[in-house]
Structure 1
């Protein structure tokens, strides 16, 4: 029965399970086995004389159960052979009937044993041992004839393997089997590959332990190596391009920086060009009279100081305005205070009042107020004897100037935001400049 089950399982996957209906084979075999083991109770298989004192093999007979059992064995054996023969994929021939020979010998031996041929026991031994050997021989012949496929003929297998690079070695890495056209691999390389794959040229050598030795094979990584080399070349090319782009970016940044510096220079120069030109004239005049007229030279230096003070503060306000930064009231306070301090070099009396409610001013408003103040003091700077400056918050920023000089300052009035008033004393004049958001001089 087990031979029949083996034949039925040939060609099936490892997880194959027999149908539940096949349990009838186990039931039949189990029942027949129980009949043999309980024969002393019913003698349905072996019979003995009723008057025998001891039951032995010399005086036993055979009942119908014995023949049923033998018939079941023969039926299962031949059914297994037929199934294996039908499943065999190799070409049929006379040698493929060899597995039947041991089965026929088993039947013949059983008949002779039943007939009482004692000489069989001396030649072949007990029937159970003889049948076991015949079953083993039957399965070996089934394997040899191809009824049962097995892992054999390794030499033919590897000899017919083309396009692979597999080898089987023993424990000492001596090659036992190798596929056709397999490149030779040294034992040292195989031992290194046992720890981790080894790459040589365009091949990666792998080693895996198996029973009795090792499996060695190679993997062609030349395509991957070429891709890697192309990737490295591309990476180098990209690195060079990035370096060029980085250089161009630095150049562009430097160019923009120079352009920005030139723009700011032009902006600052245009805001104070009048004062710069005036300083150049005063400097020439100073060089001309510094040795002959010290008093006049001192006055020239004081006038230059006033203009330089304005240029310094005006450029600072210009930069803040260009960056669109709100200007604190303290910045404007310091600008007026510094200018008034330099006016003292010319003997000008001055005072300054700044409304504490003023906080943050726009750059345009602050520069407009400071520019108007500068235009007033430059209108008659040499005859200016006194000035009072007041900055208050009134619908914007209001600059009030009380000026004592000989020149008529009404010429500075242009627009509705500037007013000029004169007192009885012609040298005393009152000017008001109202600067709103967006106003410029």
Structure 2
């Protein structure tokens, strides 16, 4: 990520240097030599779009930003075509009109991409996006038909012209959409874990913006030795690239990076290779399992390479050896009876455990299936990772409560508090503000506490992605087992589930919020 950041921002000073090395007077001996900087920047727009295609995870955001790179590429191409290759009056006017299209298309698509990053879209954002599309289409139609009405440019003889009212509408729309992009991104940054780094994209956007303001204030770019340091379309492109690269840099825009950290922190024993079989990422567990004899290596092809992991089959081989020894003991009757009794005892123990584990697996089958669906490809896995952490936490803590419930008729509310605390920790990873409170510890029937935790998870999943706060109070008073509060209403499916849980419930909600009180009779 950092190498892309330095690459893009190093090219612009290099272009300014090329402008100084190849002044316009050399064009008489070497035609089009002074266009090398513009051509280089045009190619850079395509390269930037290609990197976005492989880096950005969210499909809709990726499409918007890649299209932005195409419009920036068109901006440079149109400028070269107008001044260097087409000199007729008709082509000059048409290219002139087309030159303004990217100045409305780029902020529009950027605003669209920024809204895709919002966890919850407000009604104003939806209406403003629709209005922006309609206005932009009308402006584009007005640009291309300027010869019929002259609303954009009024061209007179001698190459002189004046701006019409449509030019100022285009300018105002471009500025308002750009402000909207910054506002939406700052709002998203405030609600994410990157809120302390929000200044990074702002600075990367503000610096070229100041150059753009300077350009319009003094009527052109500053000159060094008679050569312009930059052109307006160059700093305009830098504004766009700067703000989005800044968002990628701080993690506000999810990107296809961070695999090295994932492999380092993961407990799996795996290696990720490219198509040439070169190892890119290796987990720490690989070195630990390299010396184990009872391992089986598995390989699965991936897009652009393959992944290799090892599985420990020590337990399977141990059980197989025990069965072989049991078969050998059949030759003697006493040994056979003893072995049969031992195996029968083990089988009974395993069956008892399996029934419990099967019940636990059936209890969390829906969450397990949802997690398994995200393993279909890398993009889906990365996009659903925060939600999967919430589901995985529920599976773990619910299994723990069910194991305790199988061994105890009564459980303390402390166990429920520990389970809910871990669930709230998982929700905080998605930027949700969570709070947990607990009253005096009480004992309730173990099945009741399992049902209460199931209801907590159901509410968390129902409002996940739509709420910004989630609060839980365990045993706040003598008549309440759990009090749940959130700032988003639950789904209809959750309300239907409340009719079948068999618990004493009290619902309330004001100003879009929701409160659920779960009661019960505790053991004195």
Determine if the TM-score, normalized by the shorter chain, exceeds 0.5: no
Question: What TM-score does the superposition give when structure 2 sets the normalisation length?
Answer: 0.35
TM-score (structure 1 length as normaliser): 0.41
Query: Is the helix fraction higher in 1 or 2?
Result: 2
Larger radius of gyration: 1
